[in-house]
Amino acid sequence: MHELIHYLDIFGVVVFALSGALMAGRYKLDPFGVVVLASVTAIGGGTIRDIILQVPVFWTVDPQYLYVILATALLTIIFIRQPKRIPKRFLLISDALGLALFAVLGTQKSLMLGSPMPVAIVLGTITGVAGGMIRDVLCNVIPMILQKEIYALAAMLGGCLYATFNILGWPDNEATVAAISGALLLRLAAIYWQVSLPAFNIIDKEEQ
């Protein structure tokens, strides 16, 4: 089980690092900027989670994560020469996969460390969304979590599903895969059908 979690974690880092690197390409950042954006996207959420849990930050214990991020950023620079030609939807899909993976794995780690279920779900959501928020802020873009996009809701669904399956006594492998699939399907459905939450809009008296 621990081996599966590790490989899923590495895969999530690759996907989010790719998402950050592609965003850097869209905004014509230099190679250092690509690495920085890939890094904060990939490990930002997990770093905040571990600090809150008061445990060693995962990438300081295992530098392999940093090597994976650097390799992903460099390979993106080498093989993707014209980022503008990459469909925006590909960026959204890669981001959705990273969101689902990290939200569930963040919830799982929090539960393993003894966090109450609601706290674990919140920390899982932070794990999934915080890196993307930092990436978007650095690029001067309103983070998706603050827009009408069904984004944080998908992360919370993944955490809730994993916590529920855990209570029901599902094997960890099945619970993890099912929860990731649920979060990913919701996010992809929202992207495909352009489903969003209603916007909160205050109308000034002058506009009436």
Q: Is residue 98, in this structure, part of any structural domain at all?
A: yes
The residues facing 149 across adjacent strands are 196
Q: Is residue 151, in this structure, part of any structural domain at all?
A: yes
3-state secondary structure of 149: strand
What pLDDT sits at residue 48? 98
% of residues, the chain, pLDDT over 90: 65
Q: What value does the mean pLDDT of the chain take?
A: 89
What are 110-124's pLDDT values in tens digits?
999 999 999 999 999
> Which residue range(s) make up the domain with 159?
2-197
What pLDDT sits at residue 104? 96
Q: Is residue 178, in this structure, part of any structural domain at all?
A: yes
Q: Is residue 203, in this structure, part of any structural domain at all?
A: no
Amino acid at residue number 130: A
What pLDDT sits at residue 85? 66
The residues facing 196 across adjacent strands are 149
Q: Is residue 22, in this structure, part of any structural domain at all?
A: yes
Residue 23 pLDDT > 70, yes or no?
Answer: yes
Residue 91 pLDDT > 90, yes or no?
Answer: no
What pLDDT sits at residue 204? 62
Helix segments in the chain, DSSP class H? 2-26, 31-53, 58-61, 64-79, 88-112, 117-138, 152-167, 172-192
- Which position has the higher pLDDT, 26 or 66? 66
Q: Is residue 174, in this structure, part of any structural domain at all?
A: yes
What pLDDT sits at residue 82? 63
- Which position has the higher pLDDT, 99 or 87? 99
Q: Categorize the per-residue pLDDT at 207 as very low, low, confident or very high, splitting at 50, 70 and 90.
A: low
Mind spelling out the 3-state secondary structure of 9-47? HHHHHHHHHHHHHHHHHHCCCCHHHHHHHHHHHHHHHHH
Q: Is residue 52, in this structure, part of any structural domain at all?
A: yes
Give the total number of structural domains in the chain.
1
Pick the range with the lowest mean pLDDT from 10-14, 124-128, 145-149: 145-149
Q: Is residue 88, in this structure, part of any structural domain at all?
A: yes
Residue 83 pLDDT > 70, yes or no?
Answer: no
What pLDDT sits at residue 208? 53
